[in-house]
Amino acid sequence: MNYTQLLENEHATLELGKQLAASLGNIHVIYLEGVLGAGKTTFTRGFLHGMGYAAAVKSPTYTLVETYPLAAITVHHFDLYRIGAAHELEEMGFRDYFAPDTLCLIEWPERAPQLPPPDLICLLEVVGLKRNITITAHSEAGKQCVVSLGRISD
């Protein structure tokens, strides 16, 4: 099951991120896929704003992870682009980031094969000056989220 949308500009990417926050349900792991500059961090920024986080959202390119302890849930935003080897994740104790009271959004998940499986995979593709997003469900919670996302967007 999936949801797809052409995102005309940065604003549309932010808005869909917000809509995802409104239809989250019992989601804990989201993979963000797509080339450099596809819009993964922009989408996460919209998502965090939708979750009620009002301050700046930095790209975790150099820190590997940024953590946002929000009212509803603690969000960990990973960017694994610069990870040298998979064992670096073990050294940062990454397993502790995945818990029933956390939500992990992960850019460049393909760099770390030992990650827990996702509820959703969001693939951003560059289409000329625009972007296309395909959100695919990979769990029961993921399916419910995709269904309610479709309802909100109608």
Ligand X SMILES: Nc1ncnc2c1ncn2[C@@H]1O[C@H](COP(=O)(O)OP(=O)(O)OP(=O)(O)O)[C@@H](O)[C@H]1O
Interface residues with ligand X (CB under 6 A) are 7, 9-10, 12-13, 34, 36-42, 59, 79, 81, 107, 129-131
At its nearest, how many Å lie between Mg ion and the CB of residue 101? 25
SS3 48: helix
Q: In terms of C-beta density within 10 A (0-12 exposed, 13-18 middle, 19 or more buried), how is residue 94 classed?
A: buried
Give the x/- contact pattern for Mg ion in 55-84, rule: CB under 5 A: ----x-------------------------
Separation between Cα atoms, residue 67 and residue 142, nearest integer Å: 22
Task: Tally Cβ neighbours within 10 Å of residue 39.
Answer: 27
At its nearest, how many Å lie between ligand X and the CB of residue 57? 10
122 or 144, CB closer to ligand X?
122
Please tell me whether residue 41 binds Mg ion under the rule CB under 5 A: yes
Binding partner of residue 13 among ligand X, Mg ion, none, CB cut-off 5 to 8 Å per kind:
ligand X
Beta bridge partners of 2: 136
Please tell me whether residue 131 binds Mg ion under the rule CB under 5 A: no
Count residues binding Mg ion (CB under 5 A). 4
Nearest to 43 by CA among 21, 24, 73, 69: 21
Angle 142-96-16 (CA atoms, 0-180°, nearest 5)?
Answer: 35
Binding partner of residue 42 among ligand X, Mg ion, none, CB cut-off 5 to 8 Å per kind:
ligand X
88 or 125, CB closer to ligand X?
125
DSSP calls for 55-89: S-----TTTSEEEEE-SS-EEEEEE-TT--STHHH
At its nearest, how many Å lie between ligand X and the CB of residue 81? 6
Which residues form the interface with Mg ion (CB under 5 A)?
40-41, 59, 107
